[in-house]
Amino acid sequence: MSRPTRFEHYRYVADKRVQVVHDLDHITEACNLDDLLASEQYSAIAPESIAEARNRGNRPCKHCVREDRD
């Protein structure tokens, strides 16, 4: 799956509905990114790190985020 154009400068995007962060470089079908984008309930994480996503109250997606990639 390719990275959405609106996130070409961001690696991580958070789903505000469930407080889960996704890694756009490793997104899978299980992440259901199309549903997230349609909901418009997302935010880009900057600076780009899982640590910053956690600081914002998000947890990593079990399908696309591996902490050793950060």
Nearest residue to 48 via CA among 58, 62, 38: 58
* Residues of the chain predicted below pLDDT 50: none
| Cα pseudo-dihedral 25, 11, 3, 35, rounded to 10 | 100
**Gap between the Cα atoms of 68 and 3, Å rounded:** 21
- Would residue 10 be called left, alpha or beta, if left means φ above 0 and alpha means ψ between -120 and 50 degrees? beta
**Gap between the Cα atoms of 67 and 5, Å rounded:** 24
Q: What is the pTM of this model?
A: 0.86
- What per-residue confidence (pLDDT) applies to 9? 86
